[in-house]
């Protein structure tokens, strides 16, 4: 009987082609910021080195306490969160987490946030060139903080200003994460790409709320929160489709990706890679299952290279 030979499909993607350092991932699946801690928490139960990259919790110059409880509400098809960027701050990340990252064979990306452009710039200066860090993701899109975060991401001029300022201090690859809570996401994406972003992550959470009808009060301590999960996938997909056909930097799709088929929709819409968020709360192995499912899909359809799928559904 003749033996069937199947060559493993090529899943590698370069998501910072215009950066001289670059960011070549062994596969296009990353964890979304704020949904996988610092990655190391999962290393004994998940093969985290099989991931394309790990993006850590949003990190600020000083530790932030976040918002009042309750901060998480489950909705019919998603999750509302108003964590408010509670995090340990960059100094503790460097002293306590970075030594662990250096022992692991997977790229780590630091998601950063701040109250002012100066805070973003100071973070960039501290992080640039750190051994064990492969890129920075600029969060200019968090809907759950009173000052900073999304404020920078809803206005093209402000978005460009913060991107330019960080770019001037950062040689390593820079992803910029955009908010869907805008009228024209293509305008923001254009401004940020022209200001020097190496890649764009689309999207952060969608602004929302829930009401506790027994208490006659908003359910979240912060009143408003960000919706994630299955409910936002069509919004994220449309954002990726619109931006990818207009902008010449890689787009990373994020929002409601729970399985390989979801990820493949994003590639076909024009994403060069994807991030998995809320799905990891249901199953911490979800991102790995998605990597394997993508490889299986390519093999089943005799597609040799993941790059052949990118933008395949564009009309
Ligand atoms: C609990 C929680 C915390 C999050 N924290 C951050 C964060 O610190 N920085 C950030 O850029 N995005 C943060 N996000 C947004 C996610 O990274 C992602 O953009 C969003 O959840 C949509 O993807 P998903 O539907 O796969 O979860 C957070 C999301 C959740 C649910």
- Cβ atoms 309, 63 nearer than 8 A: no
pLDDT digits (tens, 9 = 90+) for 58-82: 999 999 999 999 999 999 999 999 9
| 257 Cβ below 6 A of ligand 1 | yes
Q: Annotated catalytic, 254? A: no
Q: Total domain count for the chain?
A: 1
212 within some domain? no
Q: Which of 142, 147, 254, 282 is catalytic?
A: 142
161 within some domain? yes
pLDDT digits (tens, 9 = 90+) for 185-217: 999 999 999 999 999 999 999 999 999 999 999
**Which are the contacts of 253, defined by CB distance < 8 A and separation ≥ 6?**
202, 236, 237, 240, 263, 266, 267, 269, 271, 273, 274, 275
73 within some domain? no
Instruction: Indicate whether 248 pLDDT > 90.
Output: yes
The CATH number that applies at residue 36 is 3.20.20.70
| 52 Cβ below 6 A of ligand 1 | no
216 within some domain? no
pLDDT digits (tens, 9 = 90+) for 135-191: 999 999 866 665 555 678 889 999 999 999 999 999 999 999 999 999 999 999 999
CA of 204 to the centre of ligand 1 (A): 6
The domain in which residue 289 lies consists of 13-67+84-206+228-308
**Which are the contacts of 30, defined by CB distance < 8 A and separation ≥ 6?**
51, 52, 53, 54, 55, 109, 252, 273, 274, 275, 276, 287
275 within some domain? yes
CA of 25 to the centre of ligand 1 (A): 21
CA distance 275 to 57: 13
CA distance 90 to 70: 26
187 within some domain? yes
pTM (two decimals)? 0.96
5 within some domain? no
74 within some domain? no
CA 194 to the chain's CA centroid: 20
């Amino acid at each position: 009987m003749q033996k069937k030979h199947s060559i493993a499909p090529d899943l590698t993607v370069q998501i910072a082609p215009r950066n001289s350092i670059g960011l070549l991932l062994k596969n296009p699946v990353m964890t979304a910021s704020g949904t996988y801690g610092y990655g190391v928490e999962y290393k004994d139960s998940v093969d985290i080195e099989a991931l394309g990259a790990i993006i850590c919790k949003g990190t600020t110059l000083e530790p932030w306490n976040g918002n009042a409880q309750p901060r998480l509400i489950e909705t019919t098809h998603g999750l509302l969160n108003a964590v408010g960027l509670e995090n340990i701050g960059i100094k503790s990340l460097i002293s306590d987490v970075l030594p662990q990252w250096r022992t692991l064979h997977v790229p780590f990306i630091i998601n950063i946030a701040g109250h002012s452009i100066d805070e973003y710039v100071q973070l960039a200066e501290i992080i640039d060139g750190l051994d064990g860090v492969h890129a920075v993701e600029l969060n200019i899109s968090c809907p759950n903080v009173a000052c900073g975060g999304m404020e920078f991401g809803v206005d093209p001029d402000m978005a460009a200003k913060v991107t330019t300022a960080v770019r001037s201090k950062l040689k390593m690859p820079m992803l910029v994460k955009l908010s869907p809570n805008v009228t024209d996401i293509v305008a923001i994406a254009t401004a940020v790409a022209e200001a020097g972003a190496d890649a764009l992550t689309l999207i952060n959470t969608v602004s929302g709320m829930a009401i506790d009808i027994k208490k006659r009060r908003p359910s979240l301590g912060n009143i408003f929160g960000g919706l994630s999960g299955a409910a936002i996938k069509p919004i994220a997909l449309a954002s990726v489709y619109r931006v990818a056909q207009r902008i010449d930097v890689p787009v990373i799709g994020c929002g409601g990706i729970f399985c390989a088929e979801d990820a493949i929709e994003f590639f076909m819409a024009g994403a060069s890679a994807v991030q998995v968020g809320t799905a990891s709360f249901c199953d911490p192995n979800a991102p790995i299952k998605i990597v394997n499912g993508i490889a299986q899909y390519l093999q089943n359809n005799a597609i040799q290279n993941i790059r052949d799928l990118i933008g395949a559904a564009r009309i």
